């Protein structure tokens, strides 16, 4: 019998699953449309978390920005708002992400380089000056010191006269993926998870509209994870956070509705759409069957998406406009709740104002000039996408089972297992690119003899000295004994079982710096040393 031409030498997805040239009903044998799909807004949410999705209003257009000083970033935020951004997303520099002040020796050369430098409540006040925090939704990409930045945001809001109950947004607060893929951790996993749970409890009591965590697969994908690994390791981390919160005595339905997720969107459009649909379905079942969540909002996987920075190229950077458009379309067709589109020049340097505006315009064209917002889940019932959704779900569940066999996400992290799996995938992709098996336009095919000149945005190196001067002035003006008392209370709470966010808030309100607060916690909790696999 002749081989089925549909399955002869198939191409493969990024996750290694075969892609058939033609799909038909036979590829969905045994597939139950009612169980696999359901209606939009209904369990298991394969088709989307809301019944109307974008037919009522488009996704939140949340552009990620931050560089240099708080004043410079504030100016960029105002520009984005003027151009139609509907949500802010803050990038912090590496010293802030690692819990160091700008004048710390270890911060030399990094101040303001990959995000904005925030050392105290005074910097935070400048960052959001003139921006009404009761009217905007703000996402903050910060992890190990997430609690500090959230409290600084609350303090600035209160100074504006905005009650904490009116504040809305998301703090990333996902430290587990830092151990796996990104590296901006401070404390060991156990106290880090305690800090995450303290944020859950604090926000339930004080800032109820705030999304307390954005469980992130994006950074694992940027490190090389394929789509199946991205959703498997992300959801495994999510399970660990839920278990931690439940172990502290919280009811799952008290905090789960405020959990959110963060994924990448690649140029492989069909697989990305299937990935988002599979992730929703897996999470809904985990929350209902493992944790007994009764509230439908606890079962929903709501997520933010960012287009794939790792797929941008410094060669022929304008081609990135095309890549970002395809990636953004995949996110929209997959049902994202908010979206950041990368600027075409980000593989070279921080985005220029023009490039950031074009990235936002990409989303606006999709929202207002295409018909993809006219119907919910346009690919529902597609033989190809439904088959890919099932395949990705099976692959992800297999990886999640291996995490469980290791004792859960933290135990696997301590063995370096997820990190090792991602590194192997990244190595394979690089080999395929180097050999030409994987085409990257402008890099290994369709190259130019000479690149056109480009003038990137540069961060003024003098900001490091200016931030140090600001810190010296802050320390001279503040009530030193009050700061010392507040930091002592924080150490006491960290040594016991009290929620550390309350003494932390008092310390920050007294003008303690981000570095001083993190140093107080380092004294009690120590720092994490990674395990390398060979």
Rounded to an integer, the average pLDDT of 194-218 is 97
CA dihedral 91, 92, 94, 96 (to 10 degrees): -160
Per-residue tokens: 324: 């970002």
Beta strands in 6-86 (DSSP E): 11-12, 18-19, 60-65
Please tell me the predicted confidence (pLDDT) of residue 1.
Answer: 37
User: Over 80: is that where the pLDDT of 3 sits?
Assistant: no
Among the residues of 143-224, which ranges form H helices? 146-159, 176-177, 189-206, 218-222
Pairing of strands 11-12, 137-141: unpaired
6 vs 22: CA distance, rounded Å: 6
Percent of the chain whose predicted confidence (pLDDT) is above 90: 88
What domains are there in the chain, each with its CATH number? 45-435 (3.20.20.240), 480-525 (no CATH)
Q: Rounded to 5 degrees, what are φ and ψ at 304?
A: -100, 150
403 vs 411: CA distance, rounded Å: 8
Percent of the chain whose predicted confidence (pLDDT) is above 70: 96
Pairing of strands 303-307, 338-340: parallel
Q: Coil, helix or strand for 166?
A: helix
pLDDT tens-place string over residues 315-342: 999 999 999 999 999 999 999 999 999 9
CA dihedral 367, 371, 377, 381 (to 10 degrees): -160
User: Over 90: is that where the pLDDT of 298 sits?
Assistant: yes
Q: Coil, helix or strand for 317?
A: coil
Beta strands in 221-374 (DSSP E): 259-265, 303-307, 338-340
pLDDT tens-place string over residues 337-354: 999 999 999 999 889 889
Pairing of strands 87-91, 60-65: parallel
Per-residue tokens: 341: 């589109």
Pairing of strands 210-211, 213-216: unpaired
Nearest CA to 216 out of 168, 260, 258, 179 is that of 260
Nearest CA to 215 out of 156, 127, 287, 313 is that of 287
User: Over 90: is that where the pLDDT of 8 sits?
Assistant: no
pLDDT tens-place string over residues 225-243: 999 999 999 999 999 999 9
Please tell me the predicted confidence (pLDDT) of residue 222.
Answer: 97
Q: What is the mean pLDDT of the chain?
A: 94
Please tell me the predicted confidence (pLDDT) of residue 180.
Answer: 96
Q: Which of the four pLDDT bands, split at 50, 70 and 90, describes residue 4?
A: very low
Strand order in the sheet with 87-91: 210-211, 168-171, 137-141, 87-91, 60-65, 338-340, 303-307, 259-265, 213-216
Per-residue tokens: 400: 């999640």
pLDDT tens-place string over residues 10-19: 689 999 999 9
CA dihedral 128, 132, 138, 141 (to 10 degrees): 10
pLDDT tens-place string over residues 20-66: 999 998 888 766 655 556 799 999 999 999 999 999 999 999 988 88
Contacts of 430 (CB under 8 A, 6+ apart): none
**H/E element holding 8?**
none
Residue 229 C-alpha from the chain's centroid: 16
**How many angstroms separate the Cα of 528 from the Cα of each of 93, 178, 515, 517?**
20, 11, 17, 17
Please tell me the predicted confidence (pLDDT) of residue 350.
Answer: 84
Within a 13 Å sphere around the CA of 131, how many CA atoms are in the beta-carbon half? 29
Please tell me the predicted confidence (pLDDT) of residue 35.
Answer: 55
**Facing residues of 340 across strands?**
306
**H/E element holding 420?**
helix 417-435
Q: Which of the four pLDDT bands, split at 50, 70 and 90, describes residue 460?
A: confident
Please tell me the predicted confidence (pLDDT) of residue 173.
Answer: 98
**How many angstroms separate the Cα of 34 from the Cα of each of 30, 39, 40, 284?**
12, 8, 12, 15
Pairing of strands 168-171, 137-141: parallel
pLDDT tens-place string over residues 156-190: 999 999 999 999 999 999 999 999 999 999 999 99
**Facing residues of 68 across strands?**
116
Least-confidence region, from 81-95, 367-381, 479-493: 81-95
Beta strands in 203-340 (DSSP E): 210-211, 213-216, 259-265, 303-307, 338-340
Please tell me the predicted confidence (pLDDT) of residue 34.
Answer: 52
**H/E element holding 90?**
strand 87-91
Please tell me the predicted confidence (pLDDT) of residue 26.
Answer: 86
**Facing residues of 260 across strands?**
214
Please tell me the predicted confidence (pLDDT) of residue 2.
Answer: 42
Within a 13 Å sphere around the CA of 519, how many CA atoms are in the beta-carbon half? 12
Please tell me the predicted confidence (pLDDT) of residue 454.
Answer: 81
Rounded to an integer, the average pLDDT of 201-216 is 97
pLDDT tens-place string over residues 125-155: 999 999 999 999 999 999 999 999 999 999 9
DSSP string, 57-77: SPPEEEEEE--BSHHHHHHHH
């Amino acid at each position: 019998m002749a081989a089925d031409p549909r399955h002869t030498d198939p191409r493969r997805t990024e996750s290694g699953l075969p892609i058939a040239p033609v799909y038909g009903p036979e590829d969905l044998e045994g597939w139950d449309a009612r169980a696999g799909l359901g209606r939009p807004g209904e369990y298991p949410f394969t088709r989307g978390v809301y019944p109307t999705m974008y037919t009522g209003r488009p996704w939140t257009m949340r552009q990620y920005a931050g560089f240099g000083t708080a004043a410079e970033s504030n100016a960029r935020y105002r520009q984005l708002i003027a151009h139609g951004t509907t949500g802010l997303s803050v990038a912090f520099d590496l010293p802030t992400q690692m819990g160091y002040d700008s004048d710390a020796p270890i911060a030399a050369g990094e101040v303001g380089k990959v995000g904005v430098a925030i050392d105290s409540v005074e910097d935070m006040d400048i960052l959001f000056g003139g921006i009404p925090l009761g009217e905007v939704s703000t996402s903050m990409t910060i992890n190990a010191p997430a609690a500090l930045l959230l409290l600084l945001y609350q303090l600035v809001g209160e100074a504006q006269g905005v009650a904490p109950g009116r504040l809305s947004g998301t703090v990333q607060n996902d430290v587990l993926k830092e151990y796996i893929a990104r590296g901006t951790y401070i404390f060991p996993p156990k106290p880090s998870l305690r800090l995450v749970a303290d944020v859950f409890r604090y926000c339930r009591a004080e800032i109820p509209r705030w999304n307390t965590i954005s469980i992130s697969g994006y950074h694992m994908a940027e490190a090389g994870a394929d789509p199946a690994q991205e959703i498997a390791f992300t959801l495994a981390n999510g399970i660990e956070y839920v278990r931690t919160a439940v172990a502290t005595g919280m009811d799952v339905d008290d905090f789960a509705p405020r959990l959110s997720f963060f994924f990448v969107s690649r140029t492989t459009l069909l697989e990305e759409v299937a990935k988002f649909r599979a992730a929703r379905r897996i999470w809904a079942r985990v929350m209902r069957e493992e944790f007994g969540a009764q509230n439908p909002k606890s079962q929903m996987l709501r997520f933010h998406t960012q287009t794939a920075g790792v797929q941008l190229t410094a060669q022929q950077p304008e081609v990135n406009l095309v890549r970002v458009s395809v990636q953004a379309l995949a996110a929209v067709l997959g049902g994202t709740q908010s979206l950041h589109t990368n600027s075409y020049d980000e593989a070279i340097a921080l985005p220029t104002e023009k490039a950031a505006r074009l990235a936002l315009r990409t989303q606006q064209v999709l929202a207002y000039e295409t018909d993809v917002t006219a119907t919910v889940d346009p690919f529902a019932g597609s033989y190809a996408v439904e088959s890919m959704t099932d395949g990705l779900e099976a692959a992800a569940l297999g990886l999640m089972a291996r995490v469980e066999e290791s004792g859960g996400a933290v135990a696997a992290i301590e063995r370096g297992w997820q990190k090792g799996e991602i590194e192997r995938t990244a190595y394979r992709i690089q080999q395929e690119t180097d050999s030409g098996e994987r085409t990257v336009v402008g890099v290994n095919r369709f190259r130019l003899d000479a690149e056109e000149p480009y003038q990137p945005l540069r961060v003024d190196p003098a900001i490091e000295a200016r931030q140090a001067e600001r810190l010296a002035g802050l320390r001279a003006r503040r009530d030193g004994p009050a700061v010392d008392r507040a930091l002592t209370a924080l150490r006491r709470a960290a040594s016991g079982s009290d929620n550390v966010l309350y003494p932390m808030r008092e310390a920050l309100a007294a003008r303690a710096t981000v570095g001083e607060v993190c140093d107080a916690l380092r004294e009690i909790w120590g720092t994490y040393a990674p395990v390398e696999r060979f």
